[in-house]
Amino acid sequence: MMKCAGAALSPVLLAAALSLLLGAAPAAAQAWTAETVADGLDYPWDIARSGETLIITEKAGFIVMVADGAVRRIPLQTREPIRSENGAGLLGLALAPDFAESGRAFFYHSTTSPTGPANRIIAAHFDGARWAETGVLLDAIPGHPLYNGGRIAIGPDGHLYATTGWTEDYDLPQDRESLAGKILRMTPEGAVPPDNPFPGSLVYSYGHRNPQGLAWDAAGAFHVAEHGQSGHDEINRVRAGANYGWPLVSGDETRAGMEKPLVHSGRSTWAPSGATFAGGSLLVASLRERALLALNTAGDGVETVYAGGDRIRQVIAAGETLYLITTNRSPRAAGPSADRLIRLTPRP
């Protein structure tokens, strides 16, 4: 059962990391007030905000809308069935800039093709009561039970960006003819932008393993958070046409023509998922650390901003307020029986 609540928690916060987020000088220890806005969520994966309404995807194929203390769960009607196994399902969400008027949004979801697991990017419409697919931007993205990428976002240039997983095929991330292990860039209609780095191709960057976080800073620099293998999770500053090395290099390894990560986790694992910029700081949701991380001031590591015991899947900012969704139920880890939407507000 889904409900709203307002119980305050006692989260952990590093004062220095909080100062990064809010732009304040380090002072006495500060903390967040954390409230459960909605619980009983079923494996939420992405979250967006339109005005005062929060919109969440659930892996099994539902869209949860939270507004004015009310919670609605609405099925997304798609033309191809949603494949929901392990790490596959209804994943990324991006709202059109005019969503409040048009009801138009974009989704990344897993499906099954004649050749096996696949993923699609679709456009959909919300009419106030019903969510339904209206068109396909891209299909036949290689799929996998776990490694599907799945995050989508509209960049500062108005184009749609998407992350795809490597599907445990060691050849595909380096193959620019394949859509696997890539960051893709397309128009809101699914066409190849004329200034993409490889003519006629949706590929924006390649050599990725399983990227799940997309974020741009105020100057337009593009950052991607991605899962490594046996550690070596990465935060990359992504350039058009660049090769990020997987599976040929990872961590501090180098090879001519391949980019090194901005930071990586070494032999430990963050299991990074969604990312956003807030107050000038890059925030990354961490599943393994059960925390919200921030890139530190030196840009050579991360610090914990909030740790409340939940596996955090995604974070978005609304002024000084942060909204988090959790993925405690996972094929990779056992946890509480349900997930929730959390609101974080800084204490004075």
Residue 28: per-residue pLDDT: 24
DSSP code for 26:
P
Written as one string, the DSSP assignment of 72-110 is EEEEEE-SS----STT-SEEEEEE-TTHHHH-EEEEEEE
Q: 174-221: per-residue pLDDT in tens?
A: 999 999 999 999 999 999 999 999 999 999 999 999 999 999 999 999
Residue 26: per-residue pLDDT: 28
Residue 337: per-residue pLDDT: 58
Q: What is residue 49's three-state secondary structure?
A: strand
**In whole angstroms, how far apart are CA 171 and each of 13, 187, 207, 223, 247?**
42, 27, 10, 24, 8
Q: What is the arrangement of strands in the sheet containing 210-216, beginning at the earlier edge strand?
A: 210-216, 222-227, 234-238, 263-264
Chain centroid offset of residue 66 CA:
19
Domain ranges of the chain: 43-277+312-317
Nearest C-alpha neighbor of 85 from the set 107, 54, 122, 117: 117
Burial of 146 (0-12, 13-18, 19+ CB in 10 A): middle
Residue 17: per-residue pLDDT: 39
Q: Residue 15: which H helix or E strand, with range?
A: helix 15-22
Contact predicate 189/167, CB 8 Å? no
Written as one string, the DSSP assignment of 50-65 is ETTEEEEEETTTEEEE
What's the rounded Cα separation, in Å, for the pair 91 and 84? 10
- Give me the phi and psi of 165, to 5 degrees please: -90, 165
What's the rounded Cα separation, in Å, for the pair 297 and 302? 9
Contact predicate 78/92, CB 8 Å? no
Q: Which residues, given as ranges, of the chain have pLDDT below 50?
A: 1-30
Residue 329: per-residue pLDDT: 79
Interacting residues of 248 by C-beta distance below 8 A, sequence separation 6+ = 174, 207, 255, 258
What's the rounded Cα separation, in Å, for the pair 173 and 166? 6
What's the rounded Cα separation, in Å, for the pair 107 and 272? 20
Which is the CATH superfamily of the domain at 43-277+312-317?
Answer: TolB, C-terminal domain (2.120.10.30)
Q: What is the identity of the amino acid at 333?
A: A
